[in-house]
Each structure stands twice: as C-alpha cells, then as structure tokens.
C-alpha cells in the first residue's frame, strides 16, 4: 500500500480517510458524520502560548474511553524510567557497547526494548531515556501508548511500520520518526526483523532549533518533515492495549482495535524525517565547529540554550578546513552524550564503534579521537575530502545519564574501550615543534 504524507513541521494539518468525515467550520458538531465521536487530544496545556500550543481533533469510531478498561499492572523488566538508580558495579568512565544480538525467539517491538540510560525525572517531565530495540514479530493485535514522553525512533537495521492513531508511517535506516506522548500505536517490521535506537523524551517536545545567523534555510528544513494522512482499522477481534505511565506498565483487553480515527485535524501529530535531507552547515575555512551545528531537533528545557535533549547527527559531508585538526576535538562536557551509529564509520574513531553499537560519554568525562584517529588526522594531507559512508547520531542531554544494570551487565559492553586512548604519547619535549617522530606516532 502506498503511504501518503503531508509536508511541514508543526503545521495545522487536516486529513480524512472517508469523504466528509472531517467537520468543516467547527470542531464538535451536534452529530458527527458517519456517526463518529469527536475527541480532542491535548499535547500542551490549553493555555500554552500560541507558538507551543498543540492539540488535535480526532473523529473516531469509538471514543478513547472505549479503548480502555480495567487495567492490570504488568512487569516489563528491561524498560526503565528515570529516576532509575540501578545497583551495578560499573565505575564511571567512557563506555562503549557492540551491537545487541538479534533475538532468536519471537519478540515484538515493546518487548524488544532495552533501556541503556535514563536521565532526569519522569515525574517532573524532565529528562529522557535512551533505549535500543530489536524485534522480529509484528504487534498484530497489541497496541501501546506511552504517557511518559514522546518517542524518537531511529532504525539501524530493517524498516519500521508504525500504525498510529493518526495514520501510518514507514521509515528505514537513515530516517527517523517521532511519536507524540500518549499516541496509540502498533509497530511491525516489514523486513521480518528490525533493530535501532529510541530517545524517550520526558520533557518539552522536540522542536526545530533556531538557526541564528545561518538564516531561514539549511539544517533540517520544515518541509522535509512528513505527517501521515488519516488511516484506520475497523477490526473487532480480541486486542490488548499496553500503557506506560510514570515508569509503570499496565495492560487491558479490548474487543476491537483502538486505531479507529477516520479523520483528524490539528498540530499534535506524529511525523517522520529523512536524515538525508539534512543540509549540513560547517567549517569552510578552518577549525571544527561545535557539534550543535548538526542539531536536527531540540527539546528545550526551561533554561535558554540548555536542551532537555538534543538530537544531533553526523552525516556524510565535505571536510575542507585548512590547517585544522578536522575530526571532533578532545572534550569534556557538562552535557551527557549518548551516541550510536546507523552505518559506516564515525570520523573520531578508527575502530571499535560499529553500526548498532552505542557509546556513552557522561557528564564531565573526557572523550575524543582514538589514537589511530588522532595520528591520522594530525598527519594527513589536508585536501578537500568527502566523508562518505557515515551516519552517527547523538542524544545529548543536560542531565547526567544513569546506566541501567542491563547496560552495565551486557556481555557486549567493551571492556577495553578506554584503551583506545592509551597510545596517545607525550609529544612535549620543550621545543616549539614538539616530537612528531615515528617513535611517538606508532
Ligand atoms: Fe563531546
């Protein structure tokens, strides 16, 4: 089935999957067409300023009160929520993981989520969690909504098909989607299996960063964000609705699908974005700018310029800086950096950081190019170079990221990651040139 989308970021959209289903000129007619129920979904307080006020009107077969029932608590051990101070023995340090293996037993999307880090406090609607997912079974009659935050999904392996209340989104590696807080979904893997990353954002919603002197274009352009047209299921079979609410999980049974929205209008909606349409802006003479130049989406905190979480990418691009060390510099940061790799190789690491893997450089812990990367970048001839075959990303948050016990105990945690800097030698020998001899470069 060909999927259709509407372009724009945060637009006021309208869409109907049956003609005349969407009321015109008002939100709540005495009787809706097709006998539908009108329902408002509020993504911001009613009185939020116009620029951040988000809500949609949904016209559905049954109101959402019919999609709930007697909830029972369910344990979901691997999906953690901040504050989560798991007991584990791992000391602080720079950390890196190999990719999680694909599951061998049947597992669906929500059962295939493993939390790596949590930050902030879900009860105060601040902070985030970073997860990995790996699954091989579709959520046929299982549905889910997350009251704790919006979810940015970033596939590394295999497509994702996300049937949301407001339409169907399909993404592949190099694309992302954002599912708003509270939106019912079911997720399937059109390729049979899928693996990737999730940023669960407890805070203010992702927005496009201001561009400052860059002006009105480049970076992520609003028209490249796509929101699905309305789609629905009219399905009366036993179904389960799973809910995440303040870090706890619940489920209830229904005798129908809750994805029954025939038409909707408004600006609170899911969207996808193709990272290949990101227009990077960077150094065209010398030096390496701060990575904030690669911010795709930013979820603000109450403090200006201090993100609850930024979603940043490092895409293919040209490197042209003269007399400069071109990879990212050595760094200590008040923000905490969770990184992953969708494909290829990241320019600060010559080895060990692989697609599907994760690295964590937490608050004030130093990081930067590995020995090989440093030596190569320090001696290479600085011709214009196109960085090919690379797509890394970062979830960068103002809050320290607490490691889950799962992440600390994962057998694919690399024990020797910090050794990647052990070959960096002392070059200081009292001369202005320093010692760049082969002896210290090996
Ligand atoms: Fe950094």
pLDDT tens sequence across 241-300: 999 999 999 999 999 999 999 999 999 999 999 999 999 999 999 999 999 999 999 999
State in Å: Cα 111 to ligand 1 middle: 32
Distance 415 CA to ligand 1 centre (A): 21
How remote is the CA of residue 294 from the centroid of ligand 1, in Å?
A: 13
Shortest CA distance to 371 belongs to which of 442, 421, 441? 421
On average, the pLDDT of the chain sits at 96
Rounded CA gap, 170 and 184, in Å?
16
β-strands 55-60, 390-397 pairing: unpaired
Compute the distance from residue 360 Cα to the ligand 1 centre, in Å. 10
Is the full-model pTM beyond 0.85?
yes
CA dihedral 27, 30, 35, 39 (to 10 degrees): 40
Question: Pick the catalytic residue: 288, 361, 367, 402?
Answer: 288
pLDDT, residue 15, reads 98
Segment 221-225 shows an average pLDDT of: 98
310 C-alpha to ligand 1 centroid (Å): 13
What mean pLDDT do residues 355-374 have? Answer: 96
Give the pLDDT confidence score for residue 348 in this predicted structure. 78
Question: Cα 176–328–299 angle (5° rounding)?
Answer: 40
Cβ–Cβ < 8 Å for 160, 197? no
Question: Considering only 17-31, 49-63, 77-91, 326-340, which range has the smallest mean pLDDT?
Answer: 77-91
pLDDT in tens, 116-143: 999 999 999 999 999 999 999 999 999 9
Q: Tokens in use for 72? A: 């029972």
Closest CA to 271 of 193, 198, 162, 172: 162
The pLDDT of residue 25: 97
Torsion, CA 377, CA 383, CA 388, CA 390, rounded to 10: 30
Closest CA to 96 of 415, 406, 436, 344: 415
Model pLDDT, residue 156: 98
Residue 109 has pLDDT above 90, yes or no: yes
Can you name the residues that pair with 194 across neighbouring β-strands? 135
Neighbours of 151 (CB within 10 A): 24
Active site residue 288: yes
Q: How far apart are CA 45 and CA 235, in angstroms?
A: 33
pLDDT at 441: 79
- Residue 350 pLDDT > 90, yes or no? no
What are the structural domains of the chain?
Answer: 5-18+34-275 (2.60.120.10), 280-441 (2.60.120.10)
The pair phi, psi for residue 331, each rounded to 5°, is -155, 140
Alpha-carbon distances, residue 14 vs 7, 34, 183 (angstroms): 12, 17, 17
Question: What's the CA angle centered on 145, arms 245 and 221, to 5 degrees?
Answer: 115
Please classify residue 66 by burial: count the beta carbons closer than 10 Å to its beta carbon, then call 0-12 exposed, 13-18 middle and 19+ buried: middle
DSSP 3-state percent helix, strand, coil across the chain (nearest 5): 10, 35, 50
pLDDT at res. 33: 98
pLDDT, residue 250, reads 98
Residue 17 alpha carbon to ligand 1 centre in Å: 46
Question: pLDDT grade, residue 439 (50/70/90)?
Answer: confident
Determine the distance separating the centroid of ligand 1 and the alpha carbon of 367, expressed in angstroms.
7
CB 143 within 8 A of CB 197: no
């Amino acid at each position: 089935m060909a999927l259709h989308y509407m372009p724009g970021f945060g637009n006021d959209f309208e869409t109907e999957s049956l003609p005349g289903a969407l009321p015109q000129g008002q939100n709540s007619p005495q009787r809706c067409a097709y006998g539908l129920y009108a329902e408002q979904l509020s993504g911001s307080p009613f009185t939020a300023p116009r620029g951040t006020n988000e809500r949609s009107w949904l016209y559905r077969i049954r109101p959402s009160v019919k999609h709930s029932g007697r909830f029972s608590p369910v344990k979901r051990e691997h999906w953690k929520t901040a504050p989560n101070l798991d007991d584990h023995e791992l000391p602080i340090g720079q950390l890196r993981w190999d990719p999680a293996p694909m599951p061998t037993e049947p597992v669906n999307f929500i059962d295939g989520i493993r939390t790596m880090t949590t930050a902030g406090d879900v009860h105060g609607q601040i902070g985030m969690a970073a997860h990995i997912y790996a699954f091989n079974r579709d959520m046929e009659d299982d549905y889910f909504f997350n009251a704790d935050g919006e979810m940015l999904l970033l596939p590394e392996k295999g497509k994702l098909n996300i049937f949301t209340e407001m339409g169907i989104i399909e993404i592949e590696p190099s694309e992302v989607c954002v599912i708003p807080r509270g939106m019912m979904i079911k997720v399937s893997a059109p390729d049979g299996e899928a693996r990737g990353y999730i940023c669960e954002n407890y805070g203010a919603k992702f927005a496009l960063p201001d561009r400052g002197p860059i002006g009105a274009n480049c970076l992520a352009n609003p028209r490249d964000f796509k929101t699905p047209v309305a789609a629905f299921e009219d399905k009366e079979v036993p179904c389960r609705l799973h809910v995440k609410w303040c870090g706890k999980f619940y489920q209830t049974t229904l005798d129908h699908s809750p994805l029954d929205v025939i038409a909707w209008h408004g600006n609170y909606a899911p969207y996808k974005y193709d990272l290949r349409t990101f227009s990077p802006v960077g150094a065209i003479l010398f030096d390496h700018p701060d990575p904030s130049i690669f911010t795709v989406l930013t979820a603000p905190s109450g403090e200006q310029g201090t993100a609850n979480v930024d979603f940043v990418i490092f895409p293919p691009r040209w490197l042209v800086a003269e007399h400069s060390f071109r990879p990212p510099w050595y760094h200590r940061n008040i923000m905490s950096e969770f990184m992953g790799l969708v494909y290829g190789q990241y320019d600060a690491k010559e080895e060990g950081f692989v697609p599907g893997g994760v690295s964590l450089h937490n608050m004030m812990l130093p990081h930067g190019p590995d020995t090989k990367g440093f030596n190569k970048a320090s001696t290479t001839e600085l011709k214009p170079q196109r960085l090919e075959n690379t797509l890394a990303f970062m979830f960068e948050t103002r809050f320290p990221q607490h490691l889950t016990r799962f992440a600390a105990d994962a057998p694919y945690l690399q024990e020797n990651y910090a050794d990647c800097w052990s070959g960096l030698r002392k070059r200081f020998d009292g001369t202005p040139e320093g010692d760049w001899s082969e002896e210290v470069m090996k």
